[in-house]
Amino acid sequence: MYNNQRTVKLNNSKEIPILGLGTYRLKSKDSLKSLIRDAILTGYRHFDTATVYKNEEIIGEAFEEIFSDETLNISREDVWVTSKLSPSEQGYENALNAVQRSLKKLKFDYIDMYLIHWPGVFKLKVSDPKNSVKRQESWKALEELYSKGIVRSIGVSNYQIKHLKELATYSTVTPAVNQCEFHPLLYTKDLVDYCKESGISFMAYSSFGEGRLVNGSIRIPELDLVSKKHNASAAQVLLSWSLHRGIIVIPKASSNKRLENNFASLKIKLDDDDIVAIDSISNANSSRFCWDSNTIS
């Protein structure tokens, strides 16, 4: 299963491949279907999407073709697919309906993992107490779907410690995962440690700082030195830095070359000196490239 790829055991004993393919902003039908097929051939078995990405239907078509291709010998059980609840679909009934729509678009009987994408609700002010009410209702819906096996793991995304503590007061199922922005310029150690102590696996998105840590727009001497030492790309070192901690990563890729480059990070072993050097980056600089959920009540 999962092509003998390294996995992380979640708190419900399900195993998820530690490296996956993110699909944010990938909407071109032909290119995305081709990318997913190339990813399968490279060895990827973990794929991340969301309702707000508007590409679930394309991903569903891609896998329908892959599963029916006898030369690939890939079945539904061989891949892990995560999707997420849109902030505009928060609430009990909305969440139930959203998952059914995702299932239909993906053409699946079940979804491996479904996350609440954001602790807030679309069009509500960040201070509105209804944010808390609606995400509690959404979690109740996901727990019900989880109990029926329609969703095999449930979790959250962009939750801060305060949101996780609140969730713990009403949940009967602990989130399997918290997916957040994470890279050396946003080394949220307190959040990572809290998740670990709570039995919640941490999943990193934007490992490359929206590309700025690997395209030369932000130069980091420590990263350059470690990359040179291991004869590796900056992207590979950034992924290995997270993998070293057992953090799940879902880097995006726009070409077969980048797919292979990212996948090769599984073979890179950073030593303690490398980790200390990259950790030190966050002491001098701190940058968030995506959304900040700290303000959501």
Terminal Cα distance for the chain, rounded: 41
Q: Is 146 a catalytic residue?
A: no
Reduced to 3 states (helix: H, G, I; strand: E, B; else coil), residue 85 is strand
Reduced to 3 states (helix: H, G, I; strand: E, B; else coil), residue 186 is strand
Structure tokens at 24: 């944010």
d(CA 227, CA 40): 27
Reduced to 3 states (helix: H, G, I; strand: E, B; else coil), residue 158 is coil
Helices (H), the chain: 29-42, 56-68, 92-106, 130-147, 161-168, 189-197, 221-230, 234-243, 256-263, 272-279, 281-284
Annotated catalytic residue within 53, 114, 159, 205 = 53
Find out whether 194 and 236 touch, Cβ atoms under 8 Å.
no
Residue owning tokens 């092509």: 3
Structure tokens at 3: 């092509």
Question: How many CB atoms within 10 Å of residue 109?
Answer: 9
d(CA 207, CA 249): 7
Residue owning tokens 């609140």: 166
Q: Are strands 46-48 and 177-181 parallel, antiparallel or unpaired?
A: unpaired
Find out whether 143 and 171 touch, Cβ atoms under 8 Å.
yes
Angle between helices 92-106 and 56-68 (to 10 degrees): 40
Find out whether 214 and 192 touch, Cβ atoms under 8 Å.
no
117 labelled ligand-binding: yes
Q: What is 107-134 written as a DSSP string?
A: T-S-BSEEEE--SS-TTS-TT-THHHHH
Catalytic residues: 53
Task: Summarize the annotated binding site as residue ranges.
Answer: 117
- Residue set of the binding site for substrate: 117
